[in-house]
Structure 1
Amino acid sequence: MFLSIFLLFIYLAQSTTTTYDGIIRRSTDGTSYAYLSPPRSGNHAAFIEEITSSHTLAVAWFSGGEGTPNCSIALSLLQFGSQQFTPGVIVSERVNYSNQNPVLYWNNQTQMLHLYHSSQLGNAGETNSEIWHLQSKDQGITWSTPESFYTLPGAFDRNRIIPTLNNDGLILPCYNSSPGVDYSFILRSSSNTTEWIRTDIEKSDYLIQPTIVRLNNSSHLRAFFRDENNVAIYYSDSNDDGLTWSKPIPTSLPNDNSGIQAYTLRNGGIIMAFNNLTAGKPRSPLTVALSYDGGMSWPYQRNIQVHDDDNSTIVGDYSYPSLLQTSWSGSDDNDIHLVYTYKSKIVIKYVRFNEKWVRQGQ
Structure 2
Amino acid sequence: MFLRILLSLFIYSRLLNAIIPFDGIIHRSTDGSSYAYLSPPKTGNHVSFIEQMAPTGTLAVAWFTGGENEPNCSIALSLLHIDSQQFTPGVIVSERANYSNQNPVLFWDNQTQILHLYHSSQLGNAGEINSQIWHAQSKDQGVTWSTAEPFYTMSGSFDRNRIIPTMNNDGVLLPCYNTTTNSGYSFILRSSFINSSWTRINLPLTNNLIQPSIIRLNNSSQLRSFFRDRNAQSIYYADSNDDGSTWSIPKVTSLPNNDAGIEGYTLKNGAVFMTFNNLNGTQQPRSPLTIALSYDNGLTWPYKRNIQIHADDNTTYIGEYSYPSLIQTSWAAADDNDIHLVYTYDR
Across the aligned residues of Structure 1 and Structure 2, the Cα RMSD in angstroms comes to 1.9
How far, CA to CA, are the matches of 2:80 and 2:56 in structure 1?
A: 11
Map 1:42-121 onto structure 2 (within 5 A): 42-121=44-123
Give the corresponding residue for 1:213.
215
* Matched residue, 2:311: 308
Q: How far apart, in 1, do the equivalents of 2:82 and 2:195 lie?
A: 35
**Residue correspondence of structure 1 range 171-182 to structure 2 within 5 A:** 171-182=173-184
Q: Distance in 2 between matches of 1:115 and 1:58?
A: 11
TM-score (normalizing by structure 1): 0.89
Q: Deviations over 1:306-354 (max 9, x none)?
A: 112132321200000001000139x9x860000000011xxxxxxxxxx
The answer for the alignment partner of 2:5 in structure 1 is none
Aligned residues of 1:74 and 1:91 also touching (Cα < 8 A): yes
Q: Residue 194 of structure 1 aligns to a residue in which SS?
A: coil
Shift in alpha-carbon separation, 1:12–1:117, aligned structure 2, 3 A: closer
- 1:323 is matched with 326
Whole-angstrom distance in 1 between the partners of 2:275 and 2:241: 24
Separation of aligned partners in 1, 2:129 and 2:326:
28
Report whether the alignment pairs 1:343 with 2:346.
yes
| Unmatched tracts of structure 1, length 5 or more | 1-10, 345-362
Residue of structure 2 equivalent to 1:356: none
State the match for 1:167 in structure 2. 169
Q: Find the residue that maps to 1:222 and give its secondary structure.
A: strand
- CA deviations 1:154-192 (Å, max 9, x no partner) are 000000001000000000000000134300000000039
Q: Does 1:222 align with 2:224?
A: yes
Identity percentage of aligned residues:
68
Aligned-partner residue type, residue 296 of structure 2: D
Indicate conservation of the 8 Å contact 2:292/2:302, yes or no: yes
The 5-angstrom pairing of residues 250-269 of structure 1 reads: 250-269=252-271
Structure 2: segments with no counterpart, 5+ residues = 1-12
Contact kept, 8 Å, 1:31 with 1:334, in 2: the verdict is no
Distance, in Å, in 1 between the alignment partners of 2:313 and 2:65 is 28
In 2, distance between residues paired with 1:218 and 1:31?
32
- Asked if the contact 1:170/1:188 (under 8 Å) is kept, the reply is yes
Map Cα deviations across residues 16-56 of structure 1 (whole Å, 9 max, x no partner). 32110000001122210000000000000000000021000
Q: Assess, with a 3 A threshold, how the Cα gap between structure 1 residues 198 and 134 changes in structure 2: closer, same or farther.
A: same
TM-score (norm 2): 0.93
Q: Distance in 2 between matches of 1:193 and 1:135?
A: 11
**2: CA distance between counterparts of 1:187 and 1:293?**
27
Provide the aligned length of Structure 1 versus Structure 2: 332
Which residue of structure 2 aligns with residue 131 of structure 1? 133
Deviation by residue 1:219-252 (Cα, 9 ceiling, x = unmatched): 1000000000011000000011111110001100
Instruction: Label 1:12 to 1:53 Cα distance change in 2 as closer, same or farther (>3 A).
Output: closer
Deviations 1:253-274 (A, max 9, x none): 0000000001110001111100
